[in-house]
């Protein structure tokens, strides 16, 4: 496929309600949308970066900069034979996974559409539906304030609940949840808010029968996580620490975790996400697909990657109606019996709605070969 045209957009959508983590609260979500045209076919990708450099060094501004000044010039006019085949000029860029992910995703969508197949099948996916969990942000009122959202999620059939935690809002949440929902699968997500000095807390959390604790320690650490994992029964899951298949291999071999959260944007695209999945599968480590408030394009990519056989745990790929009043792509994804369908249409299986895309676009760049 010869890359004839690339479009880079900054798109902003508003959440139905603010979402709070240990990083802070947010209501507007700024992502980067990439369109790639080749051989008369269009592919779409999404860089699910954030407006702030707290979860990742990347922001939507840096993502647009790297695409405009480095990735697009390296790819435009090139003839690529496979979605994962990127020119050396792109491969040698250090970091900036969200810029790479947006292009990589668009190329997978484009190639699958050219062949008339789904991205899921092109990746090697085997599932027709994927299990879905839900992630709930912090609330000022603690566990009691979260109960209506938990009840709503369980009534909708979500397979597990993930609660965000931070110092001062942790054990009481786990205790309150387990008292009210003794059989419901629960995991906690710390977003790097703790240190090894908090080991007594994590030892106490063993009592609450957790599926896992996600990224409790520093965002760039695997050494201290290995110490923590040896000291507790609850499986540690790594998120921010894992940027590639190589990182996953090192963390698992070191014993820093037993589970890995695979986020397509964080690891640089579907190509690297598949490689990380394969590394974990070789070591018998379960994986699940994390979410970053993706719009419809990125959500479809998450569903596609989660159709691979190693994704044995419910992910954060919630229904489309959970976060946004209006999305930029159709059809929406709806949870039924705790699962989401893997699209059967060509490519990612969703179509961008031009009027909505224009309405929610903050800025646009266009490049032609």
Active site residues: 164, 263
Residue with tokens 């760039």: 220
The closest of 115, 110, 48, 116 to 85, measured between CA atoms, is: 110
CA 185/CA 160 separation, integer angstroms: 5
Secondary structure (H, E, C), the chain: CEEEEEEEEEEEEEEEEEEEECCEEEEEEEEEEEEEEECCEEEEEEECCECCCCCCCCEHHHHHHHHHHHHHHHHCCCECCCCCCCCHHHHCCCCCHHHHHHHHHHHHHHHHHHHCCEHHHHHCCCCCEEEECEEECCCCCHHHHHHHHHHHHHHCCCCCEEEECECCECHHHHHHHHHHCCCCCEEEECCCCCCHHHHHHHHHHHHHCCCEEECCCCCCCCHHHHHHHHHCCCCEEECCCCCCHHHHHHHHHHCCCCEEEECCCCCCCHHHHHHHHHHHHHCCCCEEECCCCCCHHHHHHHHHHCCCCCECCCECCCCHHHCECCCCEECCCCCECCEEECCCCCECCCEECHHHHHHHEEEEEEEEC
């Amino acid at each position: 496929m010869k890359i004839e045209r690339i479009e880079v957009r900054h798109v902003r959508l508003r959440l139905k309600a603010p979402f709070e983590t240990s990083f802070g609260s947010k209501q507007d979500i700024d992502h980067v949308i990439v369109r790639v045209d080749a051989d008369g076919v269009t592919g779409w990708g999404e860089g699910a970066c954030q407006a702030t450099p707290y979860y990742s060094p990347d922001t939507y501004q840096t993502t647009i900069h790297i695409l405009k000044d480095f990735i697009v010039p390296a790819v435009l006019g090139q003839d690529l034979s496979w979605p994962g085949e990127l020119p050396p000029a792109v491969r040698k860029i250090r970091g900036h996974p969200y810029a790479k992910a947006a292009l990589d995703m668009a190329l997978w969508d484009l190639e699958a559409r050219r062949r008339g197949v789904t991205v899921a099948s092109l990746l090697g996916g085997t599932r027709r539906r994927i299990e879905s969990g839900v992630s709930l942000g912090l609330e000022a009122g603690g566990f009691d304030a979260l109960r209506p959202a938990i009840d709503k999620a369980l009534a909708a059939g979500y397979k597990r609940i993930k609660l965000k935690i931070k110092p001062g809002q942790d054990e009481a949440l786990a205790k309150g949840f387990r008292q009210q929902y003794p059989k419901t699968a629960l995991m906690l997500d710390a977003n790097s808010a703790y240190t090894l000095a908090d080991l007594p807390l994590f030892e106490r959390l063993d009592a609450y029968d957790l599926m896992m604790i996600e990224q409790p320690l520093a965002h760039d650490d695997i050494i201290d996580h290995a110490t923590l994992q040896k000291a507790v029964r609850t499986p540690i899951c790594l998120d921010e620490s894992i940027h590639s298949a190589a990182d996953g291999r090192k963390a698992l071999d070191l014993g820093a975790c037993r589970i890995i959260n695979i986020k397509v944007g964080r690891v640089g695209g579907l190509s690297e996400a598949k490689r990380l999945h394969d590394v974990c599968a070789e070591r018998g480590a379960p994986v699940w697909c994390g979410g970053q408030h993706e719009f419809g394009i990125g959500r479809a990519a998450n569903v596609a990657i989660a159709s691979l056989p190693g994704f044995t745990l419910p992910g954060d790929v919630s229904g489309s109606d959970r976060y946004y009043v209006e999305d930029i792509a159709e059809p929406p994804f709806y949870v039924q019996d705790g699962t989401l369908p893997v699209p059967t249409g060509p490519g990612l299986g969703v179509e961008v709605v031009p009027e909505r895309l224009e309405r929610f676009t903050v800025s646009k760049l266009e490049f032609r070969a």
